[in-house]
Amino acid sequence: MFLEVIGAVLIPPLIWIIWVYIKHLIDCLYYPRGPIPLPFIGNGYLIRKAEPYKELVNLGKIYGDVFSFSIGSVRFVIVNSLEGIQEVLVKKGWQFAGRPKGPSWDRSIHGLIQRDPSKKFKILRKLATSSLKIFADGLAGMESKAIEESFQLNKKLLETNGKPFSMQEITTLCVLNIICSILFNHRYKEDDLEFQDIIKYSNICFKERGVNNYIISIPWLRYFPSASSRNLDEMIKIRDPLLKKKVQEHKRSYDENNLRDLTDALIKASNSETGQDPDEKVTDDNIEFILNNFILAGSETSSNTILWFIVYILHWPEYQDKLYDEILKVTSGSRYPCLKDRPSLHLMQAAIYETLRLSSVAPFGLHHKAMEKSSICGKSIPKGALIITNLWSIHHDESYWKNAMSFYPERWLESSGEFNSKLGNAYLPFSSGPRSCIGETLAKTELFIFISRLINDFRFVKPISEELPRLDGSFGITCTPYDFKVEIVPRSKNLLF
């Protein structure tokens, strides 16, 4: 009797497990060749969590530049080559313009980034890009916000009085404040409760994004209560009322002839985009989730890129004086560099491009989904397949970049010393095609202002008691430098600020 009960309890789930596994094996037959998955875990055991992009390059040497790989019960298509990535992003951009779907993913990202292509998606993307153009006004609006926050960052660094300190939190808060200033025309003090809410919800989102990837791959995990699901609930309770409040405040005081910030620009652009079709109407919810995407996409990547720049100039310190000397030739030391100086600061532009390449802050970009049956480099791809474009792979490919693992800004300079962005063909830090990053211009503005002013004011040195920072990073949604300590030496006793 006891054995019969045990059998009745265990046999049905065992049959279900076998059925799910066999079904997954059959599904794999429709994908490009790849490693055979194990039950439950798929091929996850083949990659390290810290640097999966490197492991996928190694697997590509076995299975080819376009292969498939299982995480849990979901099969992904991995694309390592420039030809394949350009096919996914540009040549067949709309065929692969879909995004993964999953309850926790949708709840955490909540916005334009995660929408599949549709008429409404195109309206909202146009709305976001139009609002950026309206507000930018020749980039003057963005530049002024970046200058103000750069001033605050350098002031905080000076207050360290030459003692070792960590730049992570200081830099992240300053970059996040730029985004808030651009979106809401308000610079927050660090102890402001509303700013603390923004910090908290953005931190939760990035922290739990890695968990969301597993839930997409192993869907039944979402039915189990966990700290991650509780964190997501807390994030939503903070985010949704906050963004709703900001939009309503702006609508009540909106003046078409006096646009104060990007939220006003979104309202203006939405008024012109809204048509008669109810399905195409731009709602307040739509504006809120565009704001959410700007907050998430505009803060993490830029702050991490600045941190990686500091890591690289600690490892390759000779560039600090080279960059400073170039700034002096343009400004004569009487003022800070500004955007109008950018065309004259060739090495500075090269150093920023090289930082974006070498760090590959978003090594996979965002996952894509096949909207129809298609192919990549001649290999058949089923409808609904999830695609991972390994941007890290092309940014570190020795066939495109000599000494690819080294920080070498000169690779972006002509023999005349002039910067040329076209010297790097295998270069897609902001992705490309119909799902490319709409905040690329904003990010480049932030990076130029912050980095040029850091170099203008300080020399960065490794504390005697510390090791040089690691050149590998911690991977979640982005690749982040491990925490490190640095000391600053002011270049002048009378800094301009």
Q: pLDDT by residue (tens digit) across 326-343? A: 999 999 988 999 999 999
Nearest to 271 by CA among 442, 134, 435: 134
First to last CA, the chain: 84
Q: For position 211, what pLDDT does the model report?
A: 45
Q: Return phi, psi of residue 419, to 5°.
A: -70, 140
| Predicted confidence band of residue 152 (pLDDT cuts 50, 70, 90) | very high
CB atoms within 10 A of CB 379: 18
480-495 pLDDT, tens digit each: 999 999 999 998 766 6
Of 299 and 60, the one with more pLDDT:
60
Question: Is 110:292 a contact under the CB 8 Å cutoff?
Answer: yes
Q: For position 296, what pLDDT does the model report?
A: 80
Least confident of 134-148, 401-415, 448-462: 134-148
Of 114 and 354, the one with more pLDDT:
354
Beta-strand (E) ranges in 36-176?
66-71, 74-79, 165-166
Cα 160 to the center of its chain, rounded Å: 29
As given in the structure block, the two tokens for residue 249 are: 């405040």
CB atoms within 10 A of CB 337: 21
| Predicted confidence band of residue 2 (pLDDT cuts 50, 70, 90) | low
Q: For position 335, what pLDDT does the model report?
A: 92
Cα–Cα distance measured from residue 396 to residue 372, given in angstroms and rounded to the nearest whole number: 31
Cα–Cα distance measured from residue 364 to residue 209, given in angstroms and rounded to the nearest whole number: 13
DSSP H or E run through 22: helix 2-28
Question: Is 94:434 a contact under the CB 8 Å cutoff?
Answer: yes
| Predicted confidence band of residue 209 (pLDDT cuts 50, 70, 90) | low
Report, as an integer, the average pLDDT of 376-398. 97
Cα–Cα distance measured from residue 253 to residue 441, given in angstroms and rounded to the nearest whole number: 28
Q: Return phi, psi of residue 64, to 5°.
A: 100, 165
DSSP state of 137: T
Beta-strand (E) ranges in 173-269?
none
| Count of helices and strands (H, E) across the chain | 15, 11
DSSP H or E run through 307: helix 284-315
Check pLDDT > 50 for residue 138.
Answer: no
3-state secondary structure at position 269: helix
Nearest to 35 by CA among 65, 69, 64, 60: 69
Q: In what order do the strands lie in the sheet with 368-369?
A: 66-71, 74-79, 386-389, 368-369
Cα–Cα distance measured from residue 269 to residue 291, given in angstroms and rounded to the nearest whole number: 14
Q: What is the mean pLDDT of the chain?
A: 87
Cα–Cα distance measured from residue 348 to residue 419, given in angstroms and rounded to the nearest whole number: 9
Which amino acid, 221? L
Report, as an integer, the average pLDDT of 349-372. 96
Contact residues for 14 (Cβ-Cβ < 8 A; gap 6+): none
Check pLDDT > 50 for residue 259.
Answer: yes
Contacts 24+ apart (CB under 8 A), 171-175: 171/303, 171/306, 171/307, 172/299, 172/300, 172/303, 173/199, 174/149, 174/150, 174/303, 174/450, 175/149, 175/298, 175/299, 175/302, 175/303, 175/306, 175/446, 175/450
Sign of CA dihedral 85, 91, 95, 100: positive
Q: For position 121, what pLDDT does the model report?
A: 80
Contact residues for 472 (Cβ-Cβ < 8 A; gap 6+): 50, 51, 482
Q: In b/e form, how buried is each residue of 145-171, taking b as 16+ CB within 10 angstroms?
A: bbbebbbbbbebbeeeeeebbebbebb
As given in the structure block, the two tokens for residue 483 are: 């925490």
- Return the percentage of the chain with pLDDT > 90, whole number: 54
| Predicted confidence band of residue 64 (pLDDT cuts 50, 70, 90) | very high
Cα–Cα distance measured from residue 398 to residue 395, given in angstroms and rounded to the nearest whole number: 9
Q: Is 239 left (phi over 0), alpha (psi -120 to 50) or beta?
A: alpha
Q: For position 493, what pLDDT does the model report?
A: 61
Beta strand 479-481 pairing with 473-475: antiparallel
| Predicted confidence band of residue 122 (pLDDT cuts 50, 70, 90) | confident
Report, as an integer, the average pLDDT of 258-262. 85
Q: For position 251, what pLDDT does the model report?
A: 92
As given in the structure block, the two tokens for residue 286 are: 């739509």
Check pLDDT > 60 for residue 212.
Answer: no
Which amino acid, 373? K
SS (H, E, C) 312-355: HHHHCCHHHHHHHHHHHHHHCCCCCCCHHHHHHCHHHHHHHHHH
3-state secondary structure at position 166: strand
Check pLDDT > 60 for residue 108.
Answer: no
Check pLDDT > 60 for residue 275.
Answer: no
Q: For position 227, what pLDDT does the model report?
A: 66
